[in-house]
Structure 1
Amino acid sequence: MAPKSSRHRKHNKTAPVEFASMSESMLQETASGAGYRGAARGKRIAAMSSEKAFASEKQEYDQHVENAAALSAANAKTLKDDAIEAENAEHQMTVLEAVKAYPMACFWAFVMSFMIIMESYDVFLIGNFIALPAFANKYGVFDVGSNKYVIEAKWQSALQMAGQLGALIGVFLAGPLTSRIGYRWATLVGLTLMNATIFVMFFANSLPLFFVSQLLEGLPWGIFIANAPAYCSEIVPLRLRAPATQVLQLFWAVGSIIVGAVTYVYNPRLDSSAYKIPIALQWMFPLPLMVLMWLAPESPWWLVRNNRDEQAKRSIERLGRKSQLNSPEVVAMIRRVVENEASTKSPSYIELFKGSDLRRTLIVCGIYAGQNLAGNLIANQAVYFFEQAGMTVNFAFALGLITSALQSVAVMLSWILTTYFGRRTIYLWGTGFNIVMLVALGIAACVPKSSASSYAQAIFGLIVSVGFTLAAAPVSWAIIAETSAIRLRPLTTGIGRASYYIIEIPCIFLGSYMLNPTGGNLGGKCGFVWGGTALFCWVVAYFYLPEFKGRSYREIDIMFKRKIPARQWKQTVIDVQDDE
């Protein structure tokens, strides 16, 4: 039976060919024997056969297309259902449940946030060097009024802005670099550069060389500060976005504590070891962090953006407990957002200034710039400020160390405040409080100089520094991480940080000039200046800063596309089925 069946299939398969051959011969015979009418009749017979064959093939093709479309629609519906399920799960999680479900995500966010400690350490180190007797005696000029050596105002400003200038270049490199090779590899590149540039600072023997060393160290800072908030916000669930990004401010405070402790110990020394040893201690950070980042998972959002869904699933499984999450559903949620933002073009800086992305870019840039205009510079120059307020050198260093410790506690309290009260609320109330304290600082400085007025200035300066790290500073990191579109996030955080440095560099010159006895010698009266700039930030934030608390990235995308006014975000409801 098998051979017969085989022959039968072969016959059927070749029948149309034989029929076509017979039709052609019939046409030739008819044309020669019966003339034109016979030929036309033969052509009609062949045409009818051809039409039937074509109709049959077309029907089969249409059925295939219909089946494929139905399958695609079913798959799309399944993926959307999975995405909705994952998003609803994140909304329903409490903070404690999110920590239990994603313990390793918390750990890796902690590791990435630790990168900021290197910038913090060096920024505060240079600020403390200005007040360090051994450094001032070596590189300063004698000031008759204070009867001691001081670093000239121009060099104070230059040394403190050099790192920021290098970081400004670094953040512009970070965006394209991260978009291409990912957060993990970009961070490893930055750590390698950091190891190398510390050598330049350690062997510097003049102020110009210190300037160059700070400029070079700033390059990896730019990579760290651009990538850290974006990476932290992408690897944790919705409820942990604020705490995970606010850890950055904690490590900024930790960096200042380490510097304060080190310089306090070495402050009495009058030889080069007073500043050489604190410089060398920078090497304790990069190598351990390189090992950890080599082991770290890549952001699943970056992997999905680059069509590496299987790797994204594995990354999610490394970040959370398999028993408490469904990695395919989480990938479907990410895919849904990525496809809503899809574009045929590669991400570029030009896109940041088009359509709804322009508004998002301006918010990120404004929040970053506002960090320098609402008390940050007093916090960064705390030790020098306390000296100019009339404190002794040793007491100024001790007070600076106390300030840094209080800042760490304030950052941890901000996790609770931001989680329960939201970003916009804490930013406005925190900045408003700092405005009052800065004006009070200026008033205290207007009182005739006495020990009471000096202590009052020191207290108000301390309150401003701690208040800034309780509200405006840590909440800024959450806002920065959540505002940008997923597709453009590395570029947005990069250009946002660039705005920070663009504002900070002239503010450093201004701040140093106002405090320096060879410059404006304003002391605490600078509170009036920073109080005015902080008031400007508060007014702009009141009208333009939305509330991101409890919003998924899909909801944030939709609300920006619908151009919902900032003050209406809290009351706006976005349906779980909406895609825009």
Structure 2
Amino acid sequence: MAAGRWAISPMLLFSTGLLVLSAFNYGLSDQAFSSCQAMDAFEKQFGVYDAKTDAYKIPALYTSLYNSLKAGGQIIGVFIGGYVSNRWGRRMCIFTMSVYALGSASVVVSSTTQAQLQTARALHYIYLGMQLAVIPTFLAELAPAKNRGGMGVLYWLSIKAGGLFITGIARATKKMTTNAAWRIPFGLILVVPFIVICLVWFIPESPRWYLLRDRQDEALRSLTRLKGKNTSDEEVRERFEMLAFKVAEQLQKKSFKDLFTRQNRQRTFVVSAANFFQQATGQAFASQYGTLFVKQLKTINPFSVTLGTNAIDIGAIIITGLLIDVVGRRALFHTSSSLQTVSLMTMGGLGTADSSNVDAKKGIVAMLLLFSFSWSLGWAPLTYVIGAELPSSPLREMTLQIAYTVKLITEFVVTFTYPYMETADTPHHVDIGGKLGFIYGSLSAVAFVFGWFFIPETKQLEIEEIDQVYALKEGKLEDIESADDERTTVTEIPK
């Protein structure tokens, strides 16, 4: 059976839609925490009164902890999610994390002190870490090879859509003088987990998850539920046998040390390094502090800029979703890195201008928007795509645990250090401002070099075929027979 004849069925669309809806809540949660910290009502509730300015102000240390401690909770969530997903299945992980989210979000909404909100946010990010561990993988396992890139991009598109939605809500509530200004955005976090809890058991489990546990009858039933209405039972059986054959050689139990065998160590390195560069180029500065950064420039409404940033990001992700299975992963990675480097270096140059130069400040905002667009064009969504594609199936959870730990530690460093580089009126702090672009721009240039030499092309390859690629001797250029027996894909794995 040709892989291209495997139709996208209503059940596959429903399953994808539910996973994307869950990812929507990731963006909603993340941007709710980010946007609300720039509200006057939030500063009054959780800040400290400054007699000199006759206003409430949130100390830099609290801002750093507020935006960085979440990484610890998310790391815990990644390990919990990986364990639950591997042992009890993708659906059980999604159900468990959604139930947990109802409790953690309730604590967030009811917080009244800095300590309570700090703790509540860190606990809530356990939910987001579990989501990170399961949603990209589940999407990749359900998707046909020819559509896997586009379906993987949907994960980040939904996150940004959630961010755009909640930023619009925050812009509308920011003028409220009561705590409703920030409690309304936080309260909306409760909606999606409730819907997911009600619907998750109506979608099939991943057939690959069943096959990796030698539960072939359940895998066949799951695959049958995912078939298109024009797909015959014979075609389903042929598809199942092909998939079962490819997965069979992976049934042996794998240990942590297998991540570093000749066949696996390069893919472990690539996925981990990609997650490092995704964060090291400054996205946390843009997403977590973008509203505050623009507010301190005192030129443009920061909530309007954040709305614009999210809208631009969504446009970039749509472009990526349309192109990824046509031009491939590598071209988008390279384009993304190039634009990031240009925008950040330009931002750094504008940051050297006099602080009273309004045009320079507007230019910095423009470069912030261009950076966000370029990041969303490649590194933002595609890191999750290759994270779901490259690891060997039995080692996927362990590989992603390492990679996401690297990602979240890097994010912690970026988010924790930023307030100390942007608060000049505090002793021992520095005022780098737009010159941050020089730091992150240099790392973007290194990311380009890494992507050029190490990120392989996986366009239209089945997940199991990628295992064949990495099984080749010393990563040399070879021909790989495709799943549909109608083409040969040449894939280069850089040394």
The alignment's TM-score, normalised by the length of structure 2, stands at: 0.91
From 355, 358, 374, the equivalent of 1:451 is 358
Alignment of 1:41-56 (within 5 A): none
Residue type of the alignment partner of 1:194: A
1:234 aligns with 2:141: yes
Residue 515 in structure 1 maps to residue 422 in structure 2: yes
Deviations 1:390-411 (A, max 9, x none): 335xx11011112111211211
How far apart, CA to CA, are the structure 2 residues paired with 1:403 and 1:239?
30
Aligned residue identity for 2:284: L
Query: Secondary structure of the residue that 1:306 maps to in structure 2?
Result: coil
- Give 1 or 2 for the bigger CA radius of gyration: 1
Change in 2 beyond 3 A, CA 1:106/1:363: farther
For residues 514-542 of structure 1, the C-alpha deviation after alignment (integer angstroms, 9 at most, x for no partner) is 23444433221111111112122222222
Deviation at 1:494, TM superposition (A): 3.1
Structure-2 residue corresponding to 1:388: 296
Partner amino acid, structure 1, of 2:125: G
Answer yes or no: is 1:525 the counterpart of 2:435.
yes
Query: Is the contact made by 2:109 and 2:187 (CA closer than 8 Å) also made in structure 1?
Result: yes
> Quick check: 1:363 aligned with 2:273?
no
Residue 521 and residue 147 in structure 1: after superposition, are their counterparts in 2 closer, same or farther (change >3 A)? Answer: farther
Q: How much has 1:351 moved relative to structure 2? A: 2.8
Q: Compared with structure 1, are the counterparts of its residues 417 and 494 closer, same or farther at alpha carbon in structure 2 (3 Å cutoff)?
A: same
2:457 is aligned, of 539, 547, 557, to 547
Query: Alpha-carbon deviations, 1:209-231, whole Å to 9, x = none?
Result: 11110121111211111111110
Find the aligned partners of 2:8 and 2:175 in 1 and give their Cα distance: 50
Write the letter of the residue equivalent to 1:289: V
Q: Higher helix proportion, which one?
A: 1
- 1:420 to 2:330 alignment: no
2:108 matched residue in structure 1: 201
CA distance in 2, matches of 1:444, 1:142: 33
Does residue 317 of the first structure (1) align with residue 224 of the second (2)?
Answer: yes
Q: Does 1:557 align with 2:467?
A: yes
Using the aligned pairs only, state the percent identity: 24
Following superposition, the deviation at residue 424 of structure 1 comes to 1.4
* Mapping of residues 283-432 of structure 1, within 5 Å: 283-324=190-231, 326-343=235-252, 345=253, 347-380=254-287, 381-392=289-300, 395-432=301-338
Task: Measure, in 2, the Cα distance between the counterparts of 1:145 and 1:356.
Answer: 62
1:163 and 2:80 aligned: no
More displaced stretch, 300-309 vs 354-363? 354-363
Note if 1:215 corresponds to 2:91: no
> Residues 146 and 386 (structure 1 numbering): CA distance in 2 closer, same or farther, change over 3 Å?
farther
Q: Is 1:260–1:401's contact at 8 Å kept on the other side of the alignment?
A: yes
- Whole-Å separation in 2 of the counterparts to 1:113 and 1:348: 31
Q: Secondary structure at the match of 1:574?
A: strand
In structure 1, the partner of 2:493 is none
The question of whether the paired residues in 1 share the 8 Å contact of 2:227 and 2:236 is answered with no
Distance 2:214 2:48 in 1: 60
What is the CA-CA distance between 1:429 and the residue it aligns to? Answer: 1.7
Q: For residue 491 of structure 2, what is the aligned residue in structure 1? A: none
Q: What SS class does the counterpart of residue 37 from structure 2 fall into?
A: helix
What is the letter of the counterpart of residue 455 of structure 2? L
- Are the counterparts in 1 of residues 14 and 203 from structure 2 also a CA contact under 8 Å? no
List alignment gaps of at least 5 residues for structure 1.
Answer: 1-84
**Distance (whole Å) between structure 2 residues aligned to residue 503 and residue 145 of structure 1:** 36
For residue 446 of structure 1, give the secondary structure of its aligned residue in structure 2: coil
Change (3 A) 1:514 1:117: farther
What is the alpha-carbon distance in structure 2 between the residues aligned to residue 354 and residue 208 of structure 1?
45
Letter in 1 for 2:230: S
**Inter-partner Cα distance in structure 2 for 1:357 and 1:574:** 18
Equivalent residues of 2:421, 2:431 under 8 A apart: yes
CA deviation digits over 1:236-286, x for unaligned, max 9? Answer: 110111111111111111121122111101111222111122211111111
Q: Distance in 1 between matches of 2:54 and 2:27?
A: 31
| Change over 3 Å in CA distance of 1:106–1:352 after alignment to 2 | farther
Count of residues paired in the alignment: 477
* Aligned residue runs from structure 1 range 456-535, under 5 A: 456-517=363-424, 518=426, 519-535=429-445
Kept after mapping to 2: 8 A contact 1:375/1:468 = no
Pair 1:433-2:339 in alignment: yes
Structure 2 unaligned spans of 5+: 489-495
What is the alpha-carbon distance in structure 1 between the residues aligned to residue 114 and residue 318 of structure 2?
Answer: 37
Q: What residue in structure 1 maps to residue 492 of structure 2?
A: none
SS at match of 1:492: helix
| TM-score when normalising by structure 1 | 0.78
Q: Which moved more, 1:134-143 or 1:545-554?
A: 134-143
- After superposition, the C-alpha distances for 1:353-408 in whole angstroms (9 at most, x for unaligned) are 3332222222111112221122412431321221133335xx11011112111211
Once the 2 structures are TM-superposed, how far is the Cα of residue 103 of structure 1 from its aligned partner?
A: 4.2
Q: Secondary structure at the match of 1:342?
A: coil
SS at match of 2:56: strand
